[in-house]
Structure 1
Amino acid sequence: MAVESYKKIETYKASDVKTKVVDTDVLIIGGGMSGCGAAYEAAYWAKAANKKVVLVEKAAIERSGAVAHGLSAINCYLGLSGRSQFTNNKPITLEEFARYVTLDMMGVSREDLVVDYARNVDDSVHLFEKWGLPIWKDENGKYVREGRWQIMINGESYKPIVAEAAKKAIGEENIYERVFITHLLLDKDDKNKVAGAVGFSVRDPIFYVFKAKAVIIATGGATGLFRPKSTGEGMGRIWYAVFNTGSGYSMAIEAGAHTTQMEHRFIPTRFKDGYGPVGAWFLLFKSRATNAYGKDYTENVAAIEKYKPYANASPVPTPLRNHQMIEEIVQGRGPIYMRTEEALQKLSAGDPKNAKKLLEDAWEDFLDMTIDQALLWAATNTEPDKAPS
């Protein structure tokens, strides 16, 4: 049977492109988690004042942004209201969290911004649960902690849930999808004020002009800045959304915006072929990661000795743990293996019923957010309860 050919891409002349002008009070650029959250919050205040909110997104908000594929945990939940478990029966404070972030990012982060974000995050999580996000709970109805700051979720549909809330808040007629914003417009009378934005449809010959009294840039970050070791198809198989091009940074800087924390960069190491995060394995399942000789690479303290006092922090800052992993590979002691079999066998304590539940959770963790890893296990006949991966 012949494979049906792709639909021929239509071409347009410049004269075919039409201009569409959209007037609004609030314009939100980007329809990922931030954009959808901004739409929901803006609508709360805008409706009372009879104001219009418009969201524009280059993809489709149901599955766009960095959370498009889902997540298996929420990595920042303080539990200030007492809805979650406490680690070591010790409640979390804003001050403790700010100190943790400062140490983990080795002094680069601004504590005022960290506290401002953190003090609002719990309420957002409660809204997610209200909208239908399944959050793990223990026998007492408390959110299950993955680690000190994280809670576990069944988050494959995380983004569709939040997108639906945004649609209901501002109305689907005020959401413009498949429109790529390229530049901000400055007020003709005040060059320190943004008055709108322009962009184009990626599907139709339409040029958009959005006029607004207030503009919120809620686009993603920038990925793929550094070439990976992977070749061919693997070069595009990174964990974070490959579509995060940094366009929001660009348009803001070009318009003259003041930027801060641009030096605050996070580049995680990933396990080959799976490429996804493994927080649940380290924090929930208490797994180790070892080099080709079976040695825990985090024991190589000499590799981070020169980064004291941050090297003495507990836990060791993420950039330094990443450095330890890279150092193992550079020194020829790779590849690095996650000791899944050790962790699952230890946690199950010989109980077949418990072992089955843990194995289900192990697969669910990756099926919720990193299907590549689940496919890798299946394709290589790897049983994570019997062998490292």
Structure 2
Amino acid sequence: MYTEEMLESIKKVEAKRAENAAMEPKRMTAEEKDQVLKENHPDYREDQFDVLTVGPNKGEKAPKELVKMLQSDSRLKDNLPDLSCPDYETDVLIIGGGGAGASAAIEADNAGEKVMIVTKLRIGDANTMMAEGGIQAADKPNDSPAQHFLDCYGGGHFAADKELVYKLVTEAPEGIEWLQDLGVEFDKDAEGNMITTHGGGTSRKRMHAAKDYSGAEIMRTLRDEVLNRKIPVVDFTSAIELIMDDKGHCAGAVLMNMETGEILIAKAKVVIIATGGAGRMHYQGFPTSNHYGATADGLVLAYRVGAPLREQYTLQYHPTGAAFPEQIFGALVTEKVRSLGAKLVNVDGEVFMNPLETRDVTASTVIRECRRGKQVDTPTGGQGVWLDAPMIDIIHGEGTIEKRIPAMLRMFLKYGIDIRKQPMLIYPTLHYQNGGVKVGTDSQTCVENLFVAGEAAGGVHGENRLMGNSLLDVIVFGRNAGKYAAAKAKTVEVGKLTLDHVAKFEKELADAGIQPDEVSPKLLPDYTRKVND
């Protein structure tokens, strides 16, 4: 599958493999990290950002693509539906069927509230399903939530909400137990102890995993629990606008059937947005590891009713997306490959960094290596560096790759690349929305009765997320949102339903001189007859 030029480079990689496997590359200093980020990370490209001119974050920057969606017309601008006869009535309406939405549904159901999930694809079609490497929790004798907190807070460049980070790390061990009780099959040793590994930016081995399909295993378990409880799931149906009541509180959502275009009204005492990320916005033209529906819908819905965002200017570009073959361009190559010992190697077979720096630093260093002319070129004009997976079997013994990262092995074997013998070509891929809607420790926004959980929420990760903290986030804060939303629902009396905020936002756009040429939320990416420039 590899070209002749690639195979020539692989010969250099093979010649130095034993030496490279044994070496321990030095860690970067704080100053070196700052420099490589500023010179190479996409978040520092000022020409790729615009300033918001309307809404609660007016005057702040965000990616151009996100600004356009936040400042677009509502899909209901010229045709407001009748709200007097709702098609659905529930206590807790959850928008999104991924890990956070499912966790919230389970906890709200536990609290005895009437729950409904609405999801624009199917339950489980989410970034949770595509997560691979594992989930963090400080539950070993040589670790502690305090140490986990320091890793998270420092790894996020001290920008996160400390109270949210505290909740994340202190409730992590319980989250692992909860998942295990539900039936998640984590990797264990012969004595039944959880096997844990390092991740980039972690000071302890606290990554719990199910092979290299941890997210799929977790999502399978959560989905089955939701369905077994007979919690209603309305699939292939998008929320296209939130509904407020005459008291200014969130009171439901306008829904659209993705197949028929039918408009439906869902009335609720409380609403939880759990719509996930934004990879399919393809910020700065990057490929993405995200699922098909990751288009920042939740941010648009919340922003239009007055809920501010935070850290909306920062995205995570996973350092190891597949750069070749083209059929899997941008697909995630789990960080677990590096945590097991594989190192990043340039075209000349040289290791150029420690493989377990934080993701933003690692991605920036890969980009820098390519800019220095040390890249491997692909036949379609792409580029990348090698991730030398065969080191894993050298370090841990033959069969380790097949046992610990079977999904990676299968993904590349489909294209004639055996990662037990050959390296993988990688380049950063758009992976995670670091920021999101601003929430408190109860997962509620400043808009009464509107909660947000998972990747759509901001403040947990600051300006960079550590490996394994996304799956942890959806569990801890999905459950959190479900508990608090259910408790709040018990006291809510919904007023008269209204969509007055739509006209108010349209007036803001007009007063700012903005004439949108699109509607939002985006819902799905548009790939029809597109050609790369």
- TM above 0.5: yes
Once the two structures are superposed, the pairs formed by residues 1-389 of structure 1 within 5 Å of their partners are 21-45=87-111, 47=112, 51-61=113-123, 63-69=124-130, 71-79=131-139, 86=140, 90=142, 92-147=143-198, 148-154=205-211, 155=214, 156-169=216-229, 171-172=230-231, 174-188=232-246, 190-191=247-248, 193-223=249-279, 224-228=281-285, 238-269=288-319, 270-273=321-324, 274=328, 275-283=331-339, 285-298=340-353, 316-335=357-376, 336-348=385-397, 355=398, 357-361=399-403, 363-366=405-408, 374-380=410-416, 382-389=417-424
Secondary structure of the corresponding residue to residue 316 of structure 2: coil
Instruction: Indicate conservation of the 8 Å contact 2:186/2:210, yes or no.
Output: yes
Question: What is the aligned residue count?
Answer: 319
Task: Flag the 1:378–1:27 CA change in 2: closer, same or farther, 3 A.
Answer: closer
Task: Flag the 1:272–1:74 CA change in 2: closer, same or farther, 3 A.
Answer: same
Secondary structure of the corresponding residue to residue 68 of structure 1: helix
How much has 1:200 moved relative to structure 2? 0.8
Take 1:315 and 1:360, find their aligned partners in 2: how far apart are those partners?
A: 22
How much has 1:32 moved relative to structure 2? 0.6
How much has 1:228 moved relative to structure 2? 4.0
Instruction: Indicate conservation of the 8 Å contact 1:288/1:343, yes or no.
Output: no
User: In the TM superposition, what whole-angstrom CA distance separates every residue of 1:250-290 from its partner, at most 9, and x where no partner exists?
Assistant: 0000011133343453222323135313311111x211110
Secondary structure of the corresponding residue to residue 210 of structure 2: strand
Instruction: Indicate conservation of the 8 Å contact 1:345/1:385, yes or no.
Output: no
The amino acid of 1:176's aligned partner reads V
**What TM-score results when the alignment is normalised by the length of structure 1?**
0.75
User: In the TM superposition, what whole-angstrom CA distance separates every residue of 1:121-158 from its partner, at most 9, and x where no partner exists?
Assistant: 33232232223221111122111012223112144443
How much has 1:240 moved relative to structure 2? 1.8
Secondary structure of the corresponding residue to residue 297 of structure 1: coil
Take 1:157 and 1:317, find their aligned partners in 2: how far apart are those partners?
A: 25
Relative contact order (C-alpha < 8 Å, sep 6+): which is higher? 2
Q: Which moved more, 1:327-336 or 1:107-116?
A: 107-116
Secondary structure of the corresponding residue to residue 267 of structure 1: strand
Task: Flag the 1:149–1:263 CA change in 2: closer, same or farther, 3 A.
Answer: farther
Secondary structure of the corresponding residue to residue 282 of structure 1: helix
How much has 1:110 moved relative to structure 2? 2.3
User: In the TM superposition, what whole-angstrom CA distance separates every residue of 1:92-126 from its partner, at most 9, and x where no partner exists?
Assistant: 22221121112222222222211212222332322
Task: Flag the 1:77–1:365 CA change in 2: closer, same or farther, 3 A.
Answer: farther
Take 1:267 and 1:107, find their aligned partners in 2: how far apart are those partners?
A: 19
How much has 1:297 moved relative to structure 2? 1.9
Instruction: Indicate conservation of the 8 Å contact 1:286/1:343, yes or no.
Output: yes
Take 1:366 and 1:315, find their aligned partners in 2: how far apart are those partners?
A: 19
Secondary structure of the corresponding residue to residue 322 of structure 2: coil
Take 1:157 and 1:281, find their aligned partners in 2: how far apart are those partners?
A: 18
CA RMSD after TM alignment: 2.5
User: In the TM superposition, what whole-angstrom CA distance separates every residue of 1:45-75 from its partner, at most 9, and x where no partner exists?
Assistant: 1x1xxx31111111110x3111234x44423
**What TM-score results when the alignment is normalised by the length of structure 2?**
0.56
**Structure 1: gaps spanning 5 or more residues:** 1-13, 80-85, 230-234, 300-313, 349-354, 368-373
Task: Flag the 1:27–1:146 CA change in 2: closer, same or farther, 3 A.
Answer: same
Secondary structure of the corresponding residue to residue 250 of structure 1: helix
**Structure 2: gaps spanning 5 or more residues:** 1-78, 199-204, 377-384, 425-533
Overall identity of the aligned pairs, in %: 18
User: In the TM superposition, what whole-angstrom CA distance separates every residue of 1:327-347 from its partner, at most 9, and x where no partner exists?
Assistant: 001111013111122231232
Task: Flag the 1:141–1:127 CA change in 2: closer, same or farther, 3 A.
Answer: same
Q: What corresponds to 2:63 in structure 1? A: none
Task: Flag the 1:384–1:126 CA change in 2: closer, same or farther, 3 A.
Answer: same
